[in-house]
């Protein structure tokens, strides 16, 4: 028969092996994201920092809950053993599968974006032409109002409607001028 203490330490060791496996799996998820989507150095560093902060917190919780905060050598060995076993056996398959899935999602999102962008571009072009037409129409309307005021005085060419050279706006110079 095993004593209660040895049974508890064996359970903690197995939990620490599982903890090492789960941490390595989480890091594989991060690696798969990096393979599927391009990352810059700053984002890479931030991801690594946040992962190790999270991993440290989880490891602290494991040690605090199961060993009353006492650092045990077999816990560290169990975490390392779980990480190494996972990395050497299942990790390449998981990494390849998740990376492939994320790349497929990225391609599907690109196709959806290209399909949706065509109508959006058409709508944008129509909107742009409408705005340009309204702007020109408003410009011409204000020009017409200025010309109406000039006609009241009986002058042929209003002073307000002359440019710097004395020519009237909108009229081309002909041979008689």
List, run by run, the mean pLDDT of 10-residue segments along the chain (177 residues): 84 95 96 89 94 94 85 91 96 94 91 85 86 74 58 50 55 54
Residue 162 main-chain phi, psi, to 5 deg = -100, 145
Q: What is the pLDDT of residue 151?
A: 52
- Residues in contact with 12: Cβ distance below 8 Å, sequence separation at least 6, in sequence order: 66, 67, 72, 74, 75, 78
CB of 47 closer than 8 Å to CB of 39: yes
CB of 56 closer than 8 Å to CB of 16: no
Q: What is the pLDDT of residue 99?
A: 92
């Amino acid at each position: 028969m095993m004593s209660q203490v040895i049974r508890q330490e064996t359970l903690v060791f197995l939990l620490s092996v599982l903890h090492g496996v789960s941490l390595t799996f989480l890091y594989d998820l991060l690696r798969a994201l990096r393979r599927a989507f391009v990352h810059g150095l700053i984002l890479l560093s931030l991801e690594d920092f946040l992962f190790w902060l999270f991993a440290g917190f989880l490891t602290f919780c494991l040690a605090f809950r199961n060993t009353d905060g006492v650092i045990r050598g077999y816990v560290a060995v169990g975490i390392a053993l779980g990480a190494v076993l996972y990395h050497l056996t299942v990790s390449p398959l998981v990494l390849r599968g998740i990376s492939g899935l994320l790349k497929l999602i990225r391609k599907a999102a690109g196709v959806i974006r290209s399909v949706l962008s065509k109508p959006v571009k058409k709508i944008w072009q129509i909107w742009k032409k409408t705005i340009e037409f309204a702007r020109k129409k408003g410009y011409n309307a204000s020009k017409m109002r200025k010309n109406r005021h000039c006609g009241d005085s009986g002058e042929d060419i209003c002073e307000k409607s002359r440019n710097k050279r004395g020519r009237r706006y909108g009229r081309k110079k002909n041979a008689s001028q």
